[in-house]
Amino acid sequence: MTKTQPKPAAKGEKVLQLKIILAGSKPPIWRRVQVRESMHLGEMHRVVQIAMGWEDTHLHLFQVGDRSFSLFSDTDDAPAEEEDSRTVSLRALGLVRKGRKFTYTYDFGDDWIHEIEVEAAQPADPDVFYPVCVTGRKACPPDDCGGVWGYYELLEAVKNPRHPEHKEKRAWLGGSFDPDLFDVTAVNERLRATFEAMEPVSGLGDAFRA
């Protein structure tokens, strides 16, 4: 099998349709993605980063009920209250039923909180490469712009030539940024390239395989 072909679905494997909404965004900035139920949270981190359009330059945290998950290097001393997100799958966490919710926070300075909801669980299509982004709305805010409110203040300054910080903010943002633009084709090209290149995770124990 070549890398240009879809990865085969495991027998009986379900695909979860998830809606990711950036909390506090008005109008909502959101993405709808489909992922395998066997995906672990470390991979889900990559899906959120790519689907939304973040640069992955800050720490992040998943919150599933009263459990917290993040990624740690082999030399990191993980906080006692946090678990390694590579050791547990969406299925093992029970995130396979319609209506289940969890959160993903990116950048603890700007606090970009993403609310993620399971919209459906369906059989995997052997002709589809997962993960895949189905649709979405609005561009992702740029990293380091001060959170949701900072982002909207930035847009206000950029669109108003009389704003005292207009020139400064426009130069920082760059002239090509369009807050209404979302390119699902570009997102899926990045998802495919990223996940084709990833090595399978092994040795993670029953928590991952469950």
Question: pLDDT tens-digit profile of 62-100?
Answer: 999 999 999 876 555 656 689 999 999 999 999 999 999
Cα separation, 108 vs 60, in Å, equals 7
For residue 132, give Cα distances in angstroms to 31, 92, 182, 184: 11, 21, 15, 9
All domains of the chain, ordered by start, with CATH?
14-138+182-209 (3.10.290.30), 140-181 (no CATH)
What pLDDT, on a 0 to 100 scale, did the predictor assign at position 187? 98
Question: pLDDT tens-digit profile of 120-165?
Answer: 999 999 889 999 999 999 999 999 999 999 999 999 999 999 999 9
Closest CA to 134 of 5, 32, 17, 60: 32
Question: pLDDT tens-digit profile of 23-74?
Answer: 999 999 999 999 999 999 999 999 999 999 999 999 999 999 999 999 876 5
Q: How confident is the model at residue 210 (pLDDT cuts 50, 70, 90)?
A: very low
DSSP 150-199: HHHHHHHHHH-TTSTTHHHHHHHH-TT--TT---HHHHHHHHHHHHHHPP
